[in-house]
Amino acid sequence: MTELPAAHVEHLLQPDVDALRPPFSTHKPRILILYGSLREVSYSRLLAQEAGRLLEHFGCEVRIYNPEGLPLPDAAPVSHPKVQELRSLSEWSEGQVWVSPERHGAMTGIMKAQIDWIPLAVGSVRPTQGKTLAVMEVSGGSQSFNAINQLRILGRWMRMITIPNQSSVAKAFQEFDTNGRMKPSPYYDRVVDVCEELVKFTLLTRDASAYLTDRYSERKEEAEKLEQRVNLKSI
């Protein structure tokens, strides 16, 4: 056996194939969709709604959060009704879709504010850890990936499983009809691809997410904290 003098070997666990293949849950995948605009004609909202219809077709239970009335981060207590609604939906979800317009080469402040209100930790629980994530953006000009690249960084920071596929809809004002429905196009096809992939990844990982996100460093840290508490009690 290879010597690992820097490691605490008692916390080095071999991969457990059975833990990676638990019995599949039978309830519908629970997907939360966030969008990043308050405009009366909001293409990020229209894209979010289009994604919601596709996800429901693929057998998901979908909730779309309306950010209107959500205060800026730290401008209100966490007891604010819109904050509580967002946090409750995030906790309920097994996967999420984030849809942002690109404004000044970046995601909107409305999009970022929603993500900032979702806590990294509640007690010892990370509310988004192990949940799946799909990222999409709309832009008024040529195709860009600035917003979705930023959303990917945030997803990683939130310890989410961000799927490989993504959607960037350029000149979004041309891609929706007068009823707010997305027209047939390669952009629409990519949205279908993203939704289909998100459902597959959610079904594949949701029951094993706790095992997938179990980390050596955290097992070691918890063991050290436990040892400290035991030693304090023995004084």
Q: What is the pLDDT at residue 227? A: 67
Q: What is the pLDDT of residues 13-28, one digit of tens each?
A: 999 999 999 999 999 9
The alpha-helical segments, DSSP class H, found in the chain are 17-20, 43-57, 81-92, 109-117, 146-157, 186-205, 209-212, 216-233
pLDDT in tens, 189-227: 999 999 999 999 999 999 999 898 888 888 888 777 766
Out of 131-135, 154-158, 218-222, pick the least confident.
Answer: 218-222
pLDDT digits over 38-76, tens only? 999 999 999 999 999 999 999 999 999 999 999 999 999
Please name the amino acid found at residue 203.
L
Region 88-102 average pLDDT: 96
Reply yes or no on whether the pLDDT at 231 is more than 90: no
Nearest to 66 by CA among 95, 38, 87: 38
pLDDT for res 41: 92
CA atoms within 13 Å, Cβ hemisphere of 132: 25
- Return the closest-CA partner of residue 130 out of 60, 204, 210: 210
pLDDT grade, residue 122 (50/70/90)? low
